[in-house]
Amino acid sequence: MQMPVLFVGHGSPMNIIADNTYTRSMQNLGRTLPRPAAVLVISAHWQTKGSFVTAAANPPTIYDFYGFPPALYREKYQAPGSPAIAERVRQVSQNCILPDGTRGIDHAAWAVLKHMVPAVDIPVLELSMDVNLSPAEHYALGRTLAPLRQEGVIIMGSGNLVHNLSRINFDSMYGETYDWAERFDKLMEDLLLKREHAQLMEFAALPDNRLAIPTDEHYLPMLYAVALQEPAEELRFCCNDIQNGSISMRSFVIGG
C-alpha cells in the first residue's frame, strides 16, 4: 500500500496545548490516515550544511522555543526512532542524506504529531534541510524519497506557507489577518490545486512573497511534499486557517 504524503502548518508552539480548529483538524487527519511503519518529517527547524536524517533508536524531544508558558515544557512526546528506516533514507537518496545518530525531534514534528498520533506508538524520523540547496534541488531531493511510500512511510513536510514573525500578532491567535497574507495563502491554494510546481519552486517571483516568505525555511518543506505527487494523485486540504494575522496553517494530503 502506498502511503499518503502530507504538508502541515505547525505555527505557534501554543498549538501544542490549544483546542482550536487547527488542532482539531490535525486530530481528524490522524484518525483518517492509514497506520504507517514510520513518519518521516521534513522540518523547518533543522537547517544544516548537507542533508541528514535522525537515526537514533530513541531520539530525545527538543523544546526549540523560548519564552512560552511553563505548561508547554511539561508536554512529552517521546516517540521511538528507527535506525533501519534512516538507513533506507540514505540508500534511496544515494547517500545525499546521511544518518545522524544524536539529533532529536523538534517541535515542527512533535507539536503536530501530538495531535495526529497521541498514542506515541509510531516511529518518527526527521529530515534536515540543506541551506546550500536551491528550491529546485530541495524538490529533486524530495523526489528521491518516493520508494519509502511503498515501504509504509508517511512523508510529512512541516512548516508554514505564510510565515512572517515580524508582523505576528501574539495577542490574538484568531483575529484580523493581513490582506497580503490572505492573498498569498489563496495563491498557494490555486497553484497547489493546479499542480503548478514550477511556480511553487520559483516563489521569489510571486506577488507578496517578500511579506509572506521573508525567510524560506518554513516554505521549503512543502516542496518535498509536492515533489512526491504522482500524476494521478489528488491533493486535498485538511486545514486552511490563518493564525496570529501572519501565519498560514494551510495543510494538505496527497494520495492515500
Query: In the predicted model, is pLDDT for residue 95 greater than 90?
Result: yes
pTM above 0.95, yes or no: yes
Output phi, psi for 44, to 5 deg. Answer: -65, -15
> What pLDDT was estimated at residue 35?
97
Rounded Cα distance between 6 and 86, Å, is 19
Average pLDDT, stretch 143-158? Answer: 98
Res. 127 pLDDT band, cuts 50 70 90? very high
Q: How confident is residue 82, by pLDDT bands cut at 50, 70 and 90? A: very high
pLDDT-based confidence at residue 9 (cuts at 50, 70, 90): very high
Please give the average per-residue pLDDT across 83-102, as a whole number: 98
Domains of the chain plus CATH, in order, are 5-254 (3.40.830.10)
Q: Determine the residue type at 164.
A: N
Place of cell 505555527: 11
The whole-angstrom separation of Cα 51 and Cα 110 is: 20
pLDDT over 90 percentage in the chain: 98
* Residue-level pLDDT at 156: 99
What pLDDT score was predicted for residue 102? Answer: 97
Residue 119 above 90 pLDDT?
Answer: yes
Whether the predicted pLDDT of 154 surpasses 90: yes
pLDDT above 90: residue 256:
no
Query: DSSP E strands: which ranges in 37-171?
Result: 38-48, 51-54, 97-100, 124-130, 153-159
- Each residue of 1-39: b (16+ CB within 10 Å) or e? eebbbbbbbbbbbbbbebeeebbebbeebbeebeebebb
Mind listing the pLDDT tens digit for each residue in 178-219?
Answer: 999 999 999 999 999 999 999 999 999 999 999 999 999 999
